[in-house]
Amino acid sequence: MPWRQILRQLLNNPHLEQKLADSYIIRRAAQITAYFMHRGKQLTQDKVEELAKTTSKTGSKLDSFKTTFAKELKREWDKEKKKLK
């Protein structure tokens, strides 16, 4: 319990807070954190764009398959109808 109060008083001290913020370790940690955040954001955007391109290609292939399948089905259906007549 006393440790919590001591720590709270130290961290609420503006002079100590500024000194910590100016320290090399804290600044470097902030730089590394910012780098990984921006890098992660860029990688995520790249993967989303890549996935969108793949999805659009798959959609066009599916449309092509559907059209070809419908044509072939109709052609074979008509062929069988002629055989029955």
Residue 14: inside a domain: yes
Residue 78: inside a domain: no
Residue 55: inside a domain: yes
Give how many domains the chain has, as a whole number.
1
pLDDT digits (tens, 9 = 90+) for 2-57: 899 988 888 888 998 899 889 999 999 999 999 999 999 999 999 999 988 887 77
Residue 77: inside a domain: no
Residue 21, both tokens:
């913020």
The residue with greater pLDDT, 83 or 28, is: 28
Residue 15: inside a domain: yes
**CA 80/CA 72 separation, integer angstroms:** 12
Cβ–Cβ < 8 Å for 10, 16: yes
Residue 80: inside a domain: no
**Alpha helices in the chain, H assignment, sequence order:** 2-11, 14-21, 24-84
**Residue 55 has what pLDDT?**
78
Q: What pTM was computed for the model?
A: 0.51
Residue 39: inside a domain: yes
**Residue 82 has what pLDDT?**
84
- The residue range of the domain holding 56 is 2-60
Residue 75: inside a domain: no
